[in-house]
Structures are given as structure tokens and as C-alpha cells.
Structure 1
Amino acid sequence: MISRPGAGRDRLPSLTGLRFWAALLVVLYHLSRQAGKVPGVSDAVWYGRSGVTFFFVLSGVVLAWTYDGANVPARVFFWRRFARIWPLLAVGVAASVAAYMYMDRAVSAKGVVANLLLVHAWFPQRVINAGGNPAAWSLSDEAFFYLAFPVLLALLAGRRARVWVWTAVGVTCAALVLWPALSGLPPATRSWALDYLPLTRFLQFVLGVVAGLALKRGWRPPVSLPVAAGLVVAWHLALLPWSKAVPDALWYSPYSASQLLSAPVFAALICAAARADLDGRRTGLGGTWMIRLGHWSFAWYLLHEIVLRLAVFRWDKPAPGGDTLVFWAGVLVTSLALAAVAYHCVEHPAERRLRRLVGRPSAAARPSSDVTAAR
């Protein structure tokens, strides 16, 4: 029997808190590469785009935990996911297009339409997969995961634990094989196939699903939360000497590796945090402000690069040193404040209203473990 956390919206609160740190990793990655480096910090987050991998694994864990045994019709599930991501996606695209127009930069109508239809990551052309709001490419991958999830759950939920173990091993090995297997492609095509293509990223989601099913059925990871967090930090620090020896443009650089190969350590971190919540232990990730920041993280992810783009356009890149710190602080505070407004004025109320329109389940059918950690 699984011990249940207390009632409330965030039943695995540490996972919601972890969302903020993953989003921060991505934000600092963009600041380091697009605005200028801060010594020490920029080195540690130079491959912080791996935070997207964290979100893909987290989505699988949370959806499996929430919907395993819930008997929710597929159409209701799909509508809930639409209500969860699309309203803020539309706002982010509109804000991004407005920013491009202010900067007098061309906007691809095809890219905007593909973005709004959540199919843009399927196209290798940069003008399409980065059209509209470039940060929203990952939502195209998530949309594919959502479409596949009911079938994936049906295939895996009734299996024995050893099937989940072999599935986790299989998708991890598949990522290891894909990395060198696609090395012969032209650099731009290889980058798209490894870093954007939903089929490639689906491996990370599947790993999250089997981890979520195992947690739901009573499995507890042997690794503690501090150890799992240490593994994540150690993995990113290990990339630093590698990055100094191999340029990112080469296939065996740590750029794609940081995203493809980080899924197991992120899965360990997520499972360790969930275990702490299920055991009733405090983690420092489930406090009031951490939950609040976790709720804002989706909007922060979608909006921060727009603020960064406008700041660089208006003031240019800052001079190294104190100016860079001031620039970073301004972008961080402004984008996070806008994310808070977007969450409270758009994301949360729109999701609540849209969810009421389709298939409100009875109390008996409603998922008993619905958590809000997934985007």
C-alpha cells in the first residue's frame, strides 16, 4: 500500500518546487549564452538546456502517477492537457511576435501557425521550429507525448515490474545509440534530430512514465534526495572539462550529450524527491514560496527569453563584470514578475475554466493523486 501525502492541490509538493530550479537552469543557460558570462555560475549552467530534459522526464512521472488506475477517458485527458498548456502558449506566441515586430525582425507566418498547432518541432527548418516563440518548441514534443500517453499507459500499466525495468534500460540505451548513430548527418539536421525531434525526446518521457508507475505501485528509490541532487550537479560539472576540449559543433561534444544522457540522473532526482514527500519528510522544496515559484515556472520558461531578447536589443550586451550582473538581475526579476502575472491572470484561470467544459468526472472517477508538477 502506498502512503499518500495529505490532501491539497500539490500532493507531491517537492516536484512542484523542483520545477522552479529546472526553469532557473534554463534561464541562466540563456543568460550566459546570449547576454554574457558570470564567472563560476555560467560555467555550471553552460549546458543548462538539459533542464528541458528534466521537464520531459517529470511529465512522464506525474502523468503516470496521476492517471494510472484513474479510468479517465482519453478525450477528457486530451482536453485537460490542452487546457493546461495552450492558453499560455498563445499568449507567449503573441508576446514573442510583438517583440519581433518592435525589433523590426521578420516573422514567419508558417512558423507562427505551426507553433500554435503544436507541430513546429517536427520540422527541421529553423524558421518553423523556432517560429512564433522559440522557447515553445518543447511544447510540440509534449503534445506528442500527450497523444501517445493513453496507449503507452495501456501497454505498460498492467505489466510486471521487470517489464518497467527493461523498458527503462531500453530507452536509456536507445539514447546512447542514437547519439553516435546520427553523427553522419549535417550539423543542423543532427541538432534538430537529437535536440528537438519529438520521437527522440519521447525516450525521456517513457523513462518518466515507467518511473511514475513504479512509484505508484509502491517502489521507492534507494537513492536519497541529497545524493540524487549531488549526482545532477556532478553530471553538469563533469561536462566542463569536456566542453573545453571539444567544440559544441562536433557531434561528440557535450551539447547534445547533456540533453540526451541526463534523463537517468533527473529521473533519480525526481523519484528521490517524490519518495521524501511520500515518506512525510521535509525537503525544502515544498514550502509556500517554493510551491508558488514552481507554479510560475511554466510561464517563466515561455516568457524569459522574450524579455532577454528585448533587453539585448534595447541596451546591447552588457560589459563583462558588474554590468553583466546588473543585466542578469534585471532580466531575472522582470521575467519572473511577468511570469507571476501570466500565471495568475491567464494560465491558472484559463485552465480552470476550460477544464469545466469537458467531462468533469465524478468523485469516484477523479484521479486521487492529481499533482501539478508537470507543465
Structure 2
Amino acid sequence: MAKGPLPEAGHSRLDSLTGLRFWAALAVVFYHLSRQGGELPWISDITWYGRSGVTFFFILSGFVLAWTYDGKSVPVVVFLWRRFARIWPLLAVSTVASIAVWRALGTDVSLRGTAATLALVNAWVPERPYLVGGNPAAWSLSDEAWFYLLFPLLMALPLMRSSRGRVGIAVFVCVASVGVWLSSSLISDSLVRLWAMDYFPPTRTLQFVLGVAAGLAVKRGWRPPVGLRAAVVLVVAWHLVLIPWSDAVPDTLWYSPYTASQLLAAPFFALLVAAAAAADVERRRTGLSGPGMVRLGQWSFAWYLFHEIVLRALLGTFGKPVGLLDTATLWGATLVLSLALAAIAYHGVEHPLERLLRRRGPGGTTPGAPAEQAGAQEPAVPQPSMRSPYPSHRRTTQKKSVQ
């Protein structure tokens, strides 16, 4: 494994990772548009399992936190408060917006699910009212809260402090991910299986741990065996492989690509994140670190939390589209309106409230505090269909149909 120069003290930003966040969020948005709003040729085929963006964001979260806090001495209470300030204000605002849309459409909302969402614990309960909560997309933040509690312990592990130990952790995570996926064949209840494989925080912890190991490795000089372009090709190739797999196996079966697309994609996404970070460290141009891409990446957390709300409102108002032109119009309206709303939410709520809470909370804001601008914010992850435990399997041996 190649090693490169250690990052300079003044070059700690990984802007390419911020740019990558936009593309991962876009895959999530396309996933929802395809599953709920209707399919578009080619785009829906490639992003039919765009929910794998969950895996990307969990790996990215571990990577960025490890990169930011390696070598820093920060009290646990200060670290946890910073993470709360980072994710909770926008979670609360988006949950209120989601409930308002549901009520306007005449849909009842679970109070216990909403309370669990706001308390960041809803992903621990295998019941639909909790998994959907006040904002269905917010379940991923429940997993993130769990990761934050584990992070100080992970950083203290002796295995994380040596290159050989990190390699061992990475190998273990990849093998364990396959084992977890295979073990899903033992769960007969489809809802419990979906929860255990896709929501349950300990299952998703494997991806976060891989991100932490990769972040420490790159920070300390390791370089991935493939470059950024090759890593992108591997990720795209993985999603192309899922197309014939999906044609052959319904999503409701344990060996379908639905869960596999998320659990087994971890090595590909880890290589992608590491390759992008290494390119930034070595000051190589990536096409992901320009001001426009960075700005879109900064909006991606809000985009994730609000895009499904906008889609739900449009579908509730105008109904399901009929025909390719109507479907394309729905897609375009959802993309434009949700991204504009995300920009407003970022500049008007997310960023200013995070700064305010960090300034007023434990530790305050000091000149030497980690800026946590290494290139990623918290993940925004899609949810399965709200009508059944698994999204409808739209492929048949004849012709694809929208369900």
C-alpha cells in the first residue's frame, strides 16, 4: 500500500468530499423520484438502488470525524454538543415541515414516532410509526447519534492507532458486512429483516467504523491503491451490476439487491472517499472542489431532509404523473423546488443555528477548536416505501412498470 506525504497543517480542508456529497444526495433524490414519482429511462435504472447513498454518507461521516479529531484533545461533552448543534436544528425544522405537509394532505402523524425522531432514537424500534417518524428521512440521524457516542471509544482503540490494526479492522468490516447480509436469510418477518439490515444502528456501525479507519489511514500517509477516476468507475459498475440482479430477484426476498446494494457497497465507497481525500491532500484537481460544487455539497444535508417532503406535497396536490412528459415535469419541479428550499434552509437555519449553538454551548468557539470543515456534513439517507416494508419491485421478465 502506497504512502504519501503527510498533510500540511494549513491544508486540512477536503473540499472534494463536500462535492461528492452532492452527487450522493442526488442519487438519493433520484431513488425517491423513481420509486414514488415514476421512472425515467436510464436514470431510474442506474439509481433504482440510490438508497446506497446511506452507506456512502455513513462512511464519509466516520472518515471526516477521524480526519478532524485525530491528534486533537477535545472533551467528550464538547464533541457531542458540536454534533448536536450540527444536526438537530435542521432536523427539528424539517420535521415540523414534514408534519405540516402530511396534515395538509389529511394524513395522520404518529406522536410517538415524532417524539422518537426528535430524540434521535427512532431507528432502534422495528415499528413503522417509529421508522417513518415525523420526517421519514431522519432515521439516519438516529444512527448518526449512535455513531457519535461510539466515536471517542473508537479513536481510543489500540487497533486504530497502527496501520496493521486499521487493515485488520477494514478486512473485518468487509467480511462482517457479507456475513450480516447472509444472516438476513434467517429472519422470516420482512419488516424485522428490513429494520435489522437497513435501520438498526449496530448494523450500520460497520460502515462508520470503516470510515474512521480510512480517515485515520489517509491522515497518516496511506494512499488508496486506485485513483479517484478508478474509484468512481468501481462505484458506477457496482450499480450497473444491480440492474440485471434486480430484474431477476424481487426486492422482498432477502437475497435481492435491495439490502445488498447498501451492505456490500462499503468497500467501493470507502475507496471513493479515500481517493478523493488523497487527491485534495496532494492538491490534484478533481472537478469536485470548485466553489459551485462545494456550495451544492453544503446544501446537500438540507436537500436530503426536504426533498421527499417536496415530492410528497407535489404528488398529493397534482397526483401521480401519467406518461413520460408528466414524469419528467414532476422530476424537474421536485429537483428545482427542493434544492432552492435546501439553499434557504442552509443559509437561514442550518449554518447560523449551528454557529449560535456552538458559541453558546460547552467549549464555546475558540481559535484553536477544530473547524470541522474537512469536507462532509451529516448524511441524508432515504427511506423505503411508506406503503409496504419493501419498495415495490417494478421489474418483470416482460416490461418494467411503475407501481
Task: Tell me which residue corresponds to 1:170.
Answer: 172
Task: For residue 317 of structure 1, report the CA deviation from its aligned partner.
Answer: 1.2
Distance 1:225 1:372 in 2: 16
Task: For residue 271 of structure 1, report the CA deviation from its aligned partner.
Answer: 0.5
Decide which moves more: 88-97 or 171-180.
Answer: 171-180
3-state SS of paired residue (1:182) = helix
Task: Tell me which residue corresponds to 2:308.
Answer: 305
Residues 1:360 and 2:372 are matched in the alignment: no
Unaligned 5+ residue runs, structure 1?
Answer: none
Which residue, 337, 345, 355 being the options, matches 1:342?
345
Distance 1:216 1:361 in 2: 24
Task: Tell me which residue corresponds to 1:3.
Answer: 7
Q: Tell me if the contact between 1:13 and 1:285 (Cα under 8 Å) persists in the aligned partners.
A: yes
Distance 1:368 1:76 in 2: 13
Task: For residue 371 of structure 1, report the CA deviation from its aligned partner.
Answer: 1.7
Which residue, 278, 284, 296 being the options, matches 1:281?
284
Distance 1:59 1:369 in 2: 11
Task: Tell me which residue corresponds to 2:194.
Answer: 191
Task: Tell me which residue corresponds to 2:54.
Answer: 52
Distance 1:268 1:76 in 2: 31
Task: For residue 363 of structure 1, report the CA deviation from its aligned partner.
Answer: 4.1
Q: Tell me if the contact between 2:7 and 2:219 (Cα under 8 Å) persists in the aligned partners.
A: no
Distance 1:55 1:156 in 2: 25
Distance 2:100 2:301 in 1: 20
Task: For residue 320 of structure 1, report the CA deviation from its aligned partner.
Answer: 2.3
Task: Give the direction of change, closer, same or farther, for the CA distance of 1:306–1:99 in structure 2 (3 Å limit).
Answer: same
Post-superposition Cα deviations, 1:117-151, rounded to whole Å, max 9, x if no partner, equal: 00000000011111100000100000000011001
Post-superposition Cα deviations, 1:242-269, rounded to whole Å, max 9, x if no partner, equal: 0000000000000000010111100000
Distance 1:3 1:179 in 2: 37
Task: For residue 182 of structure 1, report the CA deviation from its aligned partner.
Answer: 2.3
Task: For residue 3 of structure 1, report the CA deviation from its aligned partner.
Answer: 2.7
- TM-score, normalization: structure 1? 0.97
Q: Tell me if the contact between 1:63 and 1:374 (Cα under 8 Å) persists in the aligned partners.
A: no
Task: For residue 56 of structure 1, report the CA deviation from its aligned partner.
Answer: 0.1
How many correspondences in the alignment?
A: 372
Task: Tell me which residue corresponds to 1:104.
Answer: 106
Q: Tell me if the contact between 1:65 and 1:369 (Cα under 8 Å) persists in the aligned partners.
A: no
Task: For residue 171 of structure 1, report the CA deviation from its aligned partner.
Answer: 1.2
Task: Tell me which residue corresponds to 1:149.
Answer: 151
Over the aligned positions, Cα root-mean-square deviation in angstroms equals: 1.4
Unaligned 5+ residue runs, structure 2?
Answer: 379-403
Task: Give the direction of change, closer, same or farther, for the CA distance of 1:273–1:180 in structure 2 (3 Å limit).
Answer: same
Distance 1:335 1:126 in 2: 25
Task: For residue 360 of structure 1, report the CA deviation from its aligned partner.
Answer: 3.2
Q: Tell me if the contact between 1:5 and 1:277 (Cα under 8 Å) persists in the aligned partners.
A: no
Which residue, 257, 262, 282 being the options, matches 1:259?
262
Decide which moves more: 310-319 or 293-302.
Answer: 310-319
Distance 2:220 2:305 in 1: 34
Task: Give the direction of change, closer, same or farther, for the CA distance of 1:112–1:156 in structure 2 (3 Å limit).
Answer: farther
Task: Give the direction of change, closer, same or farther, for the CA distance of 1:22–1:246 in structure 2 (3 Å limit).
Answer: same
Task: For residue 158 of structure 1, report the CA deviation from its aligned partner.
Answer: 5.8
Residues 1:119 and 2:121 are matched in the alignment: yes
Residues 1:330 and 2:333 are matched in the alignment: yes
Q: What amino acid does structure 2 have at the position aligned with 1:4?
A: E
Task: For residue 368 of structure 1, report the CA deviation from its aligned partner.
Answer: 7.3
Task: For residue 362 of structure 1, report the CA deviation from its aligned partner.
Answer: 4.8
3-state SS of paired residue (2:144) = helix
Q: Tell me if the contact between 2:154 and 2:160 (Cα under 8 Å) persists in the aligned partners.
A: no
Task: Tell me which residue corresponds to 1:268.
Answer: 271
Task: For residue 367 of structure 1, report the CA deviation from its aligned partner.
Answer: 3.0
Q: Tell me if the contact between 1:37 and 1:320 (Cα under 8 Å) persists in the aligned partners.
A: no
Q: What amino acid does structure 2 have at the position aligned with 1:302?
A: L
Task: Tell me which residue corresponds to 1:75.
Answer: 77
